[in-house]
Homo-oligomer: A and B are copies of this chain.
Amino acid sequence: METSPLARPFPVMPAIDGAVPRVARAQYKTWDRCDLTYVEMAEGTSVAGVFTRNVCCSSEVELGREQIKLGRARALVVNAGNSNAFTGYRGREAVEQIMAQVAGHIGCEPSDVFVSSTGVIGVPLPKDKAEAGVANALTADPCDWEAAAETIGTTDTFAKGATASAMIGDTRVEFSAIIKGSGMIAPDMATMLGYIFTDAKVSPGFLQQCLSAANEATFSCITVDSDTSTSDTVLAFATGKAGNAELTGPDSPGADAFAAAIHDVCRQLAHLVVRDGEGAQKFIEIAVSGAISDDSARRVGLAIANSPLVKTAIAGEDANWGRVVMAVGKAGEPADRDRLSIGFGGTWAAKDGLPLADYDEAPVAAHLRGQDIRIDVDLGMGDGRATVWTCDLTHGYISINADYRT
């Protein structure tokens, strides 16, 4: 698979004290690459998570939802090549086997071991391959984040990482994060597995609060094709090794900086997933204002972002604001044709329900020939606003998904 034209180079990412990645070969598929990622974490590591809302979720997601209630983590295992979804009790047994194997090695509770799997649906994760793969990983040399990002990938065309830092009092804390995902991306997340590691000391409750808030404005605001995977997961791990005074809530000194850094990392990760959207040639930002609420604005934004007619218009570099009108109208949110304004790249094409008489298409046409597209929509109803991100819909998407055989 060719690298996406919207790819970003892998950033220089700091090691995180108390979180050590390793990769190994489980050979879940017949391929010449590592496909099992293992990250061991220090005692005292807090964890938070957000998961797919797809009701047909995998055992990994079912178990993970229970595990984060305990707030503790010591290890993460990510299997690539087999999602283990729709595999019933046999799939669940494979996950429990991995948890027990790692817990035995570290000397922790099985519930401290988080497992994710991504790949083909409906084939139980083979226990023998998982066992051998985990054994390989436990004794492998530590690797860098880029190797880990490559190993969790499946149909990804480039490795995805993001980093940030924050000052908590006098203490600098670091964030290193990796993600995989390209197709089947929609709010409520998708075939998307993301992991954020920080050396900050944070209570599980506040870590969850920060991650959930960031998720609402980042992962829940991206869509590639409106589909929602059965396995999506974003986990945040905080090892506490930086030695800052523990953050326990929004009033802790430094809590704002920490929350902002998590948000920043999540936004970077979310954008990278869109940039690897199957067949994507253009990155599209849709800013909706004037809605009756922020939630309403987001739903309108996603209706536009999920409209095949809007996405193909952008692929064709066509400032077809009529299709945007249509998408606004079908969102089911309060809107009024006669107050609606639509612009591309900072130039309004229609204002208050009418095409602009002096609309200059030249700057819009130039903007649409670029790779980063901006659509502005003002509903003229209230103060609600939201920004969502998607990519265009191209022949590449059809080729990838019509030619991919189970």
Residues of A within 8 A of B (CB): 53-57, 85-88, 120-123, 183-184, 186, 188, 225-230, 306-309, 312-313, 315-316, 318-323, 325-330, 332, 334-338, 340, 350, 353-355, 393-395, 397-399, 401-406
- Given A186-B330, A226-B306, A307-B227, verify A56-B394 contact (CB < 8 Å): no
Q: Which residues of B contact A228 (CB under 8 A)?
A: 326, 329-330
- The answer to whether A325 touches B404, judged by C-beta atoms less than 8 angstroms apart, is no
Complex copy number for this chain:
2
**C-alpha gap A86/B350 in the complex (Å):** 10
Q: For residue A56, give the distance in angstroms from its CB to the closest CB of chain B.
A: 3
Choose among B56, B353, B393, B401 the residue that contacts A316 (Cβ–Cβ < 8 A): B401
Whether A88 and B227, one on each chain, are in contact in the complex, defined by CB atoms closer than 8 angstroms, is: no
Q: Is the CB of B402 within 8 A of A315?
A: yes
For the complex, what is the distance from the CA of A55 to the CA of B335, rounded to whole Å?
Answer: 7
**Would A404 and B316 count as touching, CB distance under 8 A?**
yes
A295 → chain B closest CB, angstroms: 16
Chain B CB within 10 Å, residue with most, of A227, A318, A355: A227
B319 touches A406 (CB 8 A): yes
C-alpha gap A401/B312 in the complex (Å): 6
Alpha-carbon separation in the docked complex, A394 to B398 (Å): 6
A86 touches B353 (CB 8 A): yes
Q: Are B402 and A353 in contact (CB under 8 A)?
A: no
Q: How far is the CA of A229 from the CA of B306 in the complex (A)?
A: 15
For this complex, 8 residue pairs linking A to B, each with C-beta atoms less than 8 Å apart, are A54-B326, A55-B337, A56-B337, A87-B354, A225-B308, A227-B307, A227-B323, A394-B402
Asked whether B312 lies within 8 Å of A350 as measured between CB atoms, the reply is no
A353 — which chain B residues lie within 8 A by C-beta? 86, 88
CA distance A17 to B318 in the complex (A): 46
> How far, in whole Å, are A330 and B186 apart by their CA atoms in the complex?
10
Q: Which of B230, B316, B337, B399 contacts A325 (CB 8 A)?
A: B230
Q: A308-B227, A309-B183 are in contact. Are A56 and B329 (CB under 8 A)?
A: yes
Residue pair B54, A227 in contact (C-beta under 8 Å)? no
The docked-state distance in angstroms from the alpha carbon of A406 to that of B350 is: 14
Q: How far is the CA of A56 from the CA of B340 in the complex (A)?
A: 9
CB-CB nearest 3 A-B residue pairs: A121-B322, A56-B329, A312-B401
Task: Indicate if the CB atoms of B316 and A227 lie closer than 8 Å.
Answer: no
The distance from the CB of A397 to the nearest CB of chain B, in whole angstroms, is 7
